[in-house]
Structure 1
Amino acid sequence: MRVIVATDGSKQSLAAARQLMSFADPTKVTEVVVIAVVSPRAAVPFANELSRSRGSSGDMSFREEAGNALDVVAAEFEGWGPKVVKKIRSGSPAAEIVRAAEQLEADLVVVASGGKGLSETILLGSTAQRIQHSAPCPVLVSRPTPRTPPVPRRRASTSA
């Protein structure tokens, strides 16, 4: 089974990779293809939250940021079993991920919803939805875990 794991550089995309590993049988998965898509017309850079490294000038190209995000997500699969391949594509994120699924004859696409990368910044979360409706195979959409609000502390009452 060939699985595509898409990353937009968000922590949610890393969580999606971990979610796949939590239930998938690594003996059934033959290959994991980690894909990042750089949009050449994006008004903002590839929003990589996963890597702290920066180029010597402090600015990295979109491709370098995407490459660093790929490295972080791919490292999650080290020792898990299947072969891991990293790919950077250029174009519309949803269209390129669907195209990759078709070309690679993927059996599953894993994508995060509600990331802070390109999907939220530019496409307002529609990337996962577009992939889900157009992919030639099943799509696992990993949603962020809702944060629980902190429980307010009770003040100790003082008696005079």
Structure 2
Amino acid sequence: MYQRILLAYDGSPDGREALTQAKTLALTSAATLRLLAVIDPSESMLVVEGMSFVTDNQRFATQAVLESGMRQLQGLGCTVSNDVRYGNPAEQIVLFAKEMNADLIVVGHRDQGTLARWLNGSVGDSILHHPPCSVLVAVKPAQTAINVTPIRKTQARGEG
């Protein structure tokens, strides 16, 4: 089914759900997993005397999150590696998926309100505009029940 799965991973609760679902798919299909964290410089840059840079703390924290995810997956027998990229998360995820010739991209679902989604954008939504492969947006089971509107049975004409 899938041979190369890209997991966009940030260690958040939504990211951990994506990790769980990607792990199940990887084990089922004997796929290789690549964990990718993207540091958005526009959100985490320091500007000092006209020069901007991402702090070492940000890099170390991001790498620690990736390594923790890798250890979980390796402990279950998954073949896994990780990478860190810098830039717009959606753009970097799509670019990396193309570079590694991914069969599937897995991302977590962050439940944002309409205003927050409009202001911040949605990485999953952005990826879906130009996907290089299949995309799985992992949703936590509790969110599934909240976000699904039940189908209501209506009476057909003539029924009494």
Normalization by structure 1: what TM-score? 0.69
The sequence identity of aligned pairs, in percent, is 29
1:146 is aligned to 2:148: no
Of Structure 1 and Structure 2, the greater strand share is in 2
Paired residues of 1:70 and 1:86 also in contact (CA < 8 A): yes
Separation (CA, whole Å) in 2 of partners of 1:20 and 1:70? 14
Change (3 A) 1:125 1:36: same
TM-aligned CA deviation for residue 107 of structure 1: 0.5
Separation (CA, whole Å) in 1 of partners of 2:121 and 2:139? 11
5 Å-filtered alignment, 1:49-128, equals 61-114=57-110, 124=120, 126-128=122-124
Paired residues of 2:26 and 2:33 also in contact (CA < 8 A): no
Normalization by structure 2: what TM-score? 0.69
Change (3 A) 1:13 1:123: farther
Task: Write out the 4+ residue segments of structure 1 that deviate beyond 4 Å after TM superposition.
Answer: 120-123
Report how many residues are paired.
Answer: 131
Paired residues of 2:8 and 2:35 also in contact (CA < 8 A): yes
- The aligned counterpart of 2:12 is 10
Separation (CA, whole Å) in 2 of partners of 1:123 and 1:62? 23
Change (3 A) 1:115 1:17: farther
Q: CA RMSD in A?
A: 3.0
Question: Which segments of 5 or more consecutive residues in structure 1 lack a partner in the other structure?
Answer: 46-58, 149-160
Letter in 2 for 1:146: Q
SS of alignment partner, residue 9 of structure 1: coil
Paired residues of 1:2 and 1:105 also in contact (CA < 8 A): yes
